[in-house]
Copies of this chain bind each other. A is one copy, B any other.
Protein backbone atom coordinates (compact mmCIF):
# COMPACT_ATOMS: atom_id res chain seq x y z
CA UNK A 1 0.00 0.00 0.00
CA UNK A 2 1.44 3.38 -1.04
CA UNK A 3 2.05 5.93 1.69
CA UNK A 4 0.77 9.45 1.14
CA UNK A 5 1.92 12.48 3.13
CA UNK A 6 -1.07 14.78 3.67
CA UNK A 7 0.46 18.25 3.68
CA UNK A 8 -1.66 21.30 4.43
CA UNK A 9 -2.55 24.11 6.81
CA UNK A 10 -5.34 22.08 8.45
CA UNK A 11 -2.95 21.70 11.37
CA UNK A 12 -3.71 25.31 12.31
CA UNK A 13 -7.50 24.94 12.47
CA UNK A 14 -9.31 24.88 15.83
CA UNK A 15 -10.78 21.50 14.72
CA UNK A 16 -7.47 20.26 13.25
CA UNK A 17 -7.72 16.75 14.72
CA UNK A 18 -11.18 16.16 13.21
CA UNK A 19 -10.23 17.51 9.77
CA UNK A 20 -6.99 15.51 9.69
CA UNK A 21 -8.88 12.38 10.73
CA UNK A 22 -11.37 12.96 7.93
CA UNK A 23 -8.58 13.38 5.38
CA UNK A 24 -6.82 10.25 6.64
CA UNK A 25 -10.07 8.26 6.36
CA UNK A 26 -10.60 9.48 2.80
CA UNK A 27 -7.04 8.54 1.87
CA UNK A 28 -7.68 5.01 3.16
CA UNK A 29 -10.93 4.90 1.18
CA UNK A 30 -8.87 5.52 -1.97
CA UNK A 31 -6.43 2.76 -1.06
CA UNK A 32 -3.56 4.73 0.47
CA UNK A 33 -1.81 4.65 3.84
CA UNK A 34 -2.02 8.21 5.23
CA UNK A 35 0.78 10.00 7.04
CA UNK A 36 -0.33 13.27 8.61
CA UNK A 37 1.67 16.13 10.09
CA UNK A 38 1.15 17.28 13.65
CA UNK A 39 -0.04 14.75 16.18
CA UNK A 40 1.14 14.45 19.78
CA UNK A 41 4.78 15.15 20.58
CA UNK A 42 5.24 13.69 24.08
CA UNK A 43 7.50 15.76 26.28
CA UNK A 44 7.69 18.61 23.82
CA UNK A 45 5.77 20.90 26.18
CA UNK A 46 8.72 21.04 28.57
CA UNK A 47 11.03 22.28 25.82
CA UNK A 48 11.61 25.91 24.97
CA UNK A 49 9.57 27.37 22.12
CA UNK A 50 12.31 26.98 19.51
CA UNK A 51 13.16 23.39 20.44
CA UNK A 52 9.45 22.52 20.46
CA UNK A 53 9.30 23.81 16.89
CA UNK A 54 12.28 21.65 15.92
CA UNK A 55 10.53 18.54 17.30
CA UNK A 56 7.50 19.17 15.08
CA UNK A 57 9.61 19.98 12.04
CA UNK A 58 11.76 16.86 12.43
CA UNK A 59 8.64 14.72 12.80
CA UNK A 60 7.19 16.08 9.54
CA UNK A 61 10.48 15.51 7.70
CA UNK A 62 10.61 11.92 8.95
CA UNK A 63 7.10 11.30 7.64
CA UNK A 64 7.97 12.80 4.26
CA UNK A 65 11.07 10.61 4.02
CA UNK A 66 8.82 7.61 4.63
CA UNK A 67 6.08 8.67 2.19
CA UNK A 68 5.86 7.55 -1.46
CA UNK A 69 4.13 10.75 -2.52
CA UNK A 70 2.38 13.88 -1.29
CA UNK A 71 -1.07 15.39 -1.62
CA UNK A 72 -0.71 19.04 -0.65
CA UNK A 73 -3.49 21.45 0.25
CA UNK A 74 -2.36 24.64 -1.50
CA UNK A 75 -5.52 26.66 -0.82
CA UNK A 76 -4.40 30.27 -0.17
CA UNK A 77 -3.67 30.79 3.51
CA UNK A 78 -3.41 34.16 5.29
CA UNK A 79 -2.79 35.95 2.02
CA UNK A 80 -2.59 35.45 -1.72
CA UNK A 81 -0.60 32.20 -1.80
CA UNK A 82 -0.33 28.77 -0.26
CA UNK A 83 0.86 28.16 3.30
CA UNK A 84 4.66 28.39 3.31
CA UNK A 85 5.08 25.25 5.42
CA UNK A 86 3.09 23.26 2.88
CA UNK A 87 5.03 24.81 -0.01
CA UNK A 88 8.29 23.80 1.69
CA UNK A 89 6.97 20.24 1.86
CA UNK A 90 6.06 20.20 -1.84
CA UNK A 91 9.62 21.30 -2.62
CA UNK A 92 11.04 18.68 -0.25
CA UNK A 93 9.16 15.85 -1.98
CA UNK A 94 10.10 17.19 -5.42
CA UNK A 95 13.76 17.33 -4.40
CA UNK A 96 13.48 13.61 -3.70
CA UNK A 97 11.88 12.96 -7.07
CA UNK A 98 8.55 11.77 -5.64
CA UNK A 99 5.24 12.38 -7.43
CA UNK A 100 3.32 15.48 -6.36
CA UNK A 101 -0.44 15.84 -6.17
CA UNK A 102 -2.08 19.00 -4.89
CA UNK A 103 -5.38 20.77 -4.60
CA UNK A 104 -6.77 24.19 -3.88
CA UNK A 105 -10.25 25.18 -2.84
CA UNK A 106 -10.42 28.11 -5.22
CA UNK A 107 -10.42 28.26 -9.00
CA UNK A 108 -9.05 31.82 -8.98
CA UNK A 109 -5.49 31.52 -10.28
CA UNK A 110 -2.23 33.14 -9.13
CA UNK A 111 -2.55 36.11 -11.48
CA UNK A 112 -6.13 36.83 -10.38
CA UNK A 113 -5.23 36.69 -6.70
CA UNK A 114 -2.16 38.93 -7.05
CA UNK A 115 -3.81 41.51 -9.31
CA UNK A 116 -7.22 41.59 -7.61
CA UNK A 117 -6.46 40.79 -3.96
CA UNK A 118 -2.93 42.09 -3.45
CA UNK A 119 -3.07 45.09 -5.80
CA UNK A 120 -6.83 45.54 -5.30
CA UNK A 121 -7.48 46.16 -8.97
CA UNK A 122 -4.91 48.97 -9.31
CA UNK A 123 -3.71 49.70 -12.84
CA UNK A 124 -1.01 47.30 -14.03
CA UNK A 125 1.72 48.09 -16.54
CA UNK A 126 2.24 45.75 -19.48
CA UNK A 127 5.32 45.57 -21.69
CA UNK A 128 5.51 42.65 -24.08
CA UNK A 129 4.97 39.45 -22.11
CA UNK A 130 5.60 41.16 -18.78
CA UNK A 131 2.96 42.55 -16.43
CA UNK A 132 3.95 44.55 -13.37
CA UNK A 133 2.12 45.95 -10.35
CA UNK A 134 2.14 49.68 -9.50
CA UNK A 135 5.20 48.95 -7.30
CA UNK A 136 7.10 47.65 -10.34
CA UNK A 137 7.10 44.01 -9.22
CA UNK A 138 6.53 41.40 -11.90
CA UNK A 139 3.25 39.49 -11.72
CA UNK A 140 3.63 35.93 -12.98
CA UNK A 141 1.02 35.41 -15.69
CA UNK A 142 1.44 31.78 -16.71
CA UNK A 143 -2.12 30.46 -16.33
CA UNK A 144 -0.84 28.66 -13.25
CA UNK A 145 -2.54 28.16 -9.90
CA UNK A 146 0.39 29.34 -7.76
CA UNK A 147 4.05 30.35 -8.16
CA UNK A 148 5.49 28.72 -11.27
CA UNK A 149 8.01 26.62 -9.33
CA UNK A 150 5.10 24.84 -7.64
CA UNK A 151 2.97 24.31 -10.75
CA UNK A 152 6.01 23.25 -12.78
CA UNK A 153 7.12 20.71 -10.18
CA UNK A 154 3.66 19.12 -10.00
CA UNK A 155 3.46 18.98 -13.79
CA UNK A 156 6.98 17.59 -14.26
CA UNK A 157 6.45 14.94 -11.58
CA UNK A 158 3.50 13.59 -13.55
CA UNK A 159 1.01 14.56 -10.85
CA UNK A 160 -2.07 16.79 -10.82
CA UNK A 161 -3.09 20.11 -9.28
CA UNK A 162 -6.87 19.99 -8.74
CA UNK A 163 -9.10 22.97 -7.99
CA UNK A 164 -12.71 23.53 -7.00
CA UNK A 165 -14.49 26.48 -5.45
CA UNK A 166 -15.84 25.82 -1.98
CA UNK A 167 -18.13 27.48 0.54
CA UNK A 168 -15.71 26.49 3.32
CA UNK A 169 -12.25 26.61 1.71
CA UNK A 170 -10.51 25.51 4.91
CA UNK A 171 -12.39 22.22 5.14
CA UNK A 172 -14.01 21.29 1.82
CA UNK A 173 -12.98 17.86 0.51
CA UNK A 174 -14.15 18.10 -3.13
CA UNK A 175 -10.78 19.05 -4.62
CA UNK A 176 -8.99 16.74 -2.19
CA UNK A 177 -11.12 13.86 -3.51
CA UNK A 178 -10.19 14.89 -7.07
CA UNK A 179 -6.50 14.74 -6.12
CA UNK A 180 -7.00 11.33 -4.50
CA UNK A 181 -8.70 10.09 -7.67
CA UNK A 182 -5.83 11.40 -9.81
CA UNK A 183 -3.26 9.76 -7.52
CA UNK A 184 -5.11 6.44 -7.56
CA UNK A 185 -5.15 6.49 -11.37
CA UNK A 186 -1.47 7.43 -11.49
CA UNK A 187 -0.35 4.60 -9.18
CA UNK A 188 -2.66 2.08 -10.87
CA UNK A 189 -0.77 2.67 -14.13
CA UNK A 190 2.55 1.68 -12.45
Contact = CB atoms under 8 A, between A and B. Distances in A.
Contacts of A18: none
Main secondary structure of the interface of A (DSSP, over half): helix
B80 A81 contact: no
Interface residues of A, number: 59
B95 A149 contact: no
A78 B113 CA distance: 11
B136 A13 contact: yes
B95 A53 contact: no
Contacts of A45: 128-129
B61 A153 contact: yes
A118 interface: yes
A88 B114 CA distance: 18
A82 interface: yes
